[in-house]
Amino acid sequence: MAAYETDVETHKAKLADIDDESGDENTERGNWSSKLDFLLSCLGYAVGLGNVWRFPYLCYRNGGGAFFIPYCIALAFLGIPIFLLELAIGQYSSSGPFTCWKYSPIFTGIGYGMFIVSALVAIYYNMIIAWAFFYLFASFTDELPWQSCGDWSTNLCYDNVKILNKTWESCNGNNRWGKVWEANVTQGICYETGMLNKKEGVRAYLDADKAKDYFPRTLPSQEYFDNYVTGSGYSSGYDDLGGVRWQLALCYLLAFICVILALSKSIKTSGKVVYFTATFPYIVLVILFIRGLMLEGMEEGIRFYITPDLNRLSDAQVWKDAAVQIFFSLSASWGGLIALASYNKFHNDLLRDTLIVTFGNCLTSVFAGFVIFSYLGYLSTYMGLPVDEVAKSGPSLTFVVYPFAVTKMPISPLWAILFFVMLITLGVDSEFVLVETVITSLMDRFPKLRKYKLFTVMTCCLLFFLLGLTLTTDVCNNCKNCVLQFFVTQCDFIDRET
């Protein structure tokens, strides 16, 4: 009996050691150094670029404040349950997307689907981070390069939108000859539609409203992004590949170097990096919000953002957008949550972590909407246009609209630097987990690779970099929105239905 009691005490002592955060429960795969490492990694994975460039746009497009209703319902009945399910699968199996289905082999295809989606998105997502790096480096100057038209701009570039909008009003009744590329809208010249396509002499004239539609001017920030950064403006079609833009390729390489450094020792290093990358965006968002409250017209933008249109709730598209945004924002069903949770200790409180991350993610989206629309309200006032004409989604918001807005503010390089550093930290968190999902899956499938973690990480990143070089060409940048839409939404739903 004494020996039995001694064994029991010894077993309890071992369990106590296991529960201690300082030791690894799974000596083969390892565990998170602390619970906070895991929590911040999940939060950084969930809170990404979609919170800044997609959610605010969906709100304005789907009834403003009324969109919060289907969004919260989708969170309660879709987001939280699936988020909790994925964490549970990873934690209680201590396996990544490939091997967590070993007790139910019929579902193995789901794991392969998660692996493929994570790999494809990782290649494209890092290109967005590369764009942010490009803009960050370009912001270290006295005058932002996209503040006015430059050598990279076309004849449609116009950097004084105030004058442009006013001069169209006085365009009626003028009869002047000229050429489109020599046009000066301050003279009130209007051109016929056919001439615009042929670049020939003027033969007829349009009234002001039609001229504005047929002869659109473009912002310097739009042409800077299309012509100088991505080169998509120079592509004549999908059969015109163009060359690799070496400046963008170097930024793309830098983004992968950041991933390699963060994952050099797997979760032991990435778990510490997220202490900065997961918290710094909130500091910048607060700073940008305070600055946004000081801008003229900010109240118009915020009013546009939150004013509810309850009639929109009868539209099925609104509910679809809410469901897609929940999955997109929480990064559910991509395999990353399973990979992260697989390094948890067996008795970790999953429900607590789920509620903290899901509610934290959604509150971040709402707050980011206030920040973005305060600047859109300012830009709307400055340009003399309705808010809905300056509100954009996706790369156009983060790399065209906001950069143009900061050029009209004092100390514009400072606000540009803060914004693009925030974008980088938002992006790399998600990129860490996307690549970690691939690495974890491979190491679980081929356990011998665990001895060569750094080599495995470097090999995967090198392969992704080489495949992603096509994204630095003119034609691939021309279809960037198509790639984003397909891999972020369509692949997501295919993966869930597998």
Whether residues 98 and 230 share a domain: the answer is yes
348 is in an annotated binding site: no
Tell me what pLDDT residue 63 has: 84
Asked whether the predicted pLDDT for residue 474 surpasses 80, the reply is no
Q: Does 178 lie in the same domain as 116? A: no
Domain presence at residue 432: yes
Known binder of ligand: residue 22? no
In a domain, 12, yes or no: no
The pLDDT of 94-122, averaged and rounded, is: 91
Q: Per the domain annotation, does 17 fall within a domain?
A: no
Confirm or deny that 416 is annotated as ligand binding: no
Pair (49, 133) in one structural domain: yes
The pLDDT value recorded for residue 387 is 82
Residue 383: CATH number of its domain: 1.10.4160
Provide the pLDDT for residue 381. Answer: 84
Q: Which amino acid is at 271?
A: G
pLDDT at 492 over 50: no
Quick check: is 155 in a domain? no
If asked whether residues 205 and 302 sit together in one domain, one would say no
Of 171-180, 333-342, 373-382, highest mean pLDDT: 333-342
In a domain, 11, yes or no: no
Contact of 73 with 322, CB cutoff 8 Å: yes
- Provide the residue range defining the domain that includes 208: 161-217
**φ, ψ dihedrals at 315, nearest 5°:** -90, 125
Q: Tell me, yes or no, whether 272 lies in a domain.
A: yes
Task: Count other Cβ atoms within 10 Å, centred on residue 397.
Answer: 21
> Are 321 and 470 in the same domain?
yes
> Tens of pLDDT along 355-376?
999 999 999 999 999 999 998 8
Both 415 and 469 in a single domain?
A: yes
| Res 183: pLDDT | 41
Query: What pLDDT, on the 0 to 100 scale, is given for residue 194?
Result: 41
- Residue with the two structure tokens 């809208």: 185
Lowest mean pLDDT among 118-122, 183-187, 216-220: 183-187
Residue 119 has pLDDT above 70, yes or no: yes
Count of structural domains, the chain: 2
26 carries a ligand binding annotation: no
Q: Is 426 annotated as a binding residue?
A: yes
Q: Are 33 and 271 in contact (CB under 8 A)?
A: yes
Average confidence (pLDDT) over 55-79: 90
SS3 label, residue 379: helix
Q: Which of 196, 217, 238 is the last residue of a domain?
A: 217
| Confidence at 390, pLDDT banded by 50, 70, 90 | confident
88 lies in the same domain as 175: no
Query: Helix 108-138 vs helix 412-445: angle between axes, to the nearest 10 degrees?
Result: 150
Same domain, 137 and 230: yes
Question: b or e along 445-467 (b: 16 or more beta carbons within 10 Å of the residue's beta carbon)?
Answer: eeeeeeeebeebbbebbeebbee
Rank 184-193, 301-310, 352-361 by mean pLDDT and report only the highest.
352-361
Q: Answer whether residue 483 shows pLDDT above 50.
A: yes
Task: Please report, as a single letter, which amino acid is at residue 345.
Answer: K
Which residues 6+ apart lie within 8 Å of 76 measured at CB?
none
- Evaluate if residue 30 carries a pLDDT over 50: yes
Judge if 342 and 236 occupy the same domain.
Answer: yes
Query: What are the CA-CA distances from residue 208 to residues 173, 189, 213, 459 (Å)?
Result: 9, 9, 9, 58
Q: Is the pLDDT of residue 480 over 70?
A: no
329 is in an annotated binding site: yes
47 marked as binding residue = yes
Domain ends where: 217, 249, 265?
Answer: 217
DSSP string, 442-483: HHHHSGGGGGGHHHHHHHHHHHHHHHHGGGGSHHHHHTHHHH
**pLDDT reading at 202 higher than 80:** no
Instruction: Tell me, yes or no, whether 156 lies in a domain.
Output: no
Residues 367 and 255 in one domain: yes
* 18 is a domain residue: no
- Claim to verify: residue 51 and residue 173 sit in the same structural domain: no
Does 326 share its domain with 388?
yes
pLDDT band at residue 477 under the 50/70/90 scheme:
low
Q: How confident is the model at residue 116 (pLDDT cuts 50, 70, 90)?
A: very high
Whether 255 shows a pLDDT value over 90: the answer reads yes
Q: Which residues contact 170 (CB under 8 A, 6 or more apart)?
A: 188, 208
pLDDT at 431: 95
| Residue reference for tokens 């994925």 | 86
Position 23 scores a pLDDT of 65
Domain endpoint, select from 191, 217, 243:
217
Which three-class secondary structure state does DSSP give residue 218?
strand
Q: What is the mean pLDDT of the chain?
A: 80
Give per-residue pLDDT as tens, 84-106: 999 999 999 999 999 999 888 89
3 is in an annotated binding site: no
Task: Flag whether pLDDT at 354 surpasses 70.
Answer: yes
Contact 437, 335 (CB under 8 A): yes
What was the pLDDT predicted at 261? 94
Q: What angle do CA 418, 424, 430 make, to 5 degrees?
A: 140
Q: How confident is the model at residue 7 (pLDDT cuts 50, 70, 90)?
A: very low
pLDDT digits (tens, 9 = 90+) for 409-436: 889 999 999 999 999 999 999 999 999 9
The more confident residue out of 362 and 168 is 362
